[in-house]
């Protein structure tokens, strides 16, 4: 006898030594119950993703920043990025990355927060407008 069989018997959902054989469908004829008329309001849940992907990326060029832009704006996925490589590569590309972040924040209401800055890491999380970050100190 499996765990679920034992559980069903102990809760009384299955005929046996522990239960009376009650099931959820007993007495249900498929018609709506007038008692619940006006109490139950039909609600349609909005279609959303079952899960959210959080992507960690180390952009090495401006093209990688375009991928991050697409993930945040089109796919609505939060992205954690490490800009240390672009910072070491040169000021021009690092400035372009900063401009892309600025556009995300101003035009698309994305949030960008510095998570960690050290000699070998420069981690920033960027989230779409529908994901709210709570800043605690």
Digit-by-digit pLDDT tens for the chain (137 residues) are: 676 777 677 666 655 444 455 555 555 666 766 666 666 566 666 666 667 788 899 999 889 999 999 999 998 899 999 999 998 988 898 999 999 999 999 999 999 999 999 988 999 999 999 888 887 77
Report d(CA 10, CA 8) in Å as an integer: 6
DSSP 2: -
109, 107, 104, 115: which is closest to 81 by C-alpha? Answer: 115
Structural domains for the chain? 3-36 (no CATH), 55-127 (3.30.110.150)
Nearest to 105 by CA among 88, 124, 87, 129: 129
56, 69, 112 from 100: Cα distances, Å: 17, 8, 11
């Amino acid at each position: 006898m499996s765990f679920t069989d034992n559980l069903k018997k102990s809760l009384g959902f299955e005929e046996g030594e522990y239960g009376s054989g009650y099931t959820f469908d007993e007495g249900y004829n498929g018609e709506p119950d007038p008692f619940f008329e006006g109490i139950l309001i039909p609600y349609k849940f909005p279609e959303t993703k079952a899960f959210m992907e959080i992507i960690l990326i180390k952009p090495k060029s401006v093209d990688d920043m375009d991928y991050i832009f697409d993930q945040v704006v089109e796919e609505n996925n939060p992205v954690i990025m490490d800009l240390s490589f672009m910072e070491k590569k040169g000021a021009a590309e690092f400035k372009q990355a900063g401009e892309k972040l600025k556009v995300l924040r101003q035009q698309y209401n994305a949030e960008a927060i510095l998570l960690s800055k050290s000699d070998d890491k420069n981690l920033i999380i960027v989230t779409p407008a529908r994901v709210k970050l709570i800043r605690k100190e």
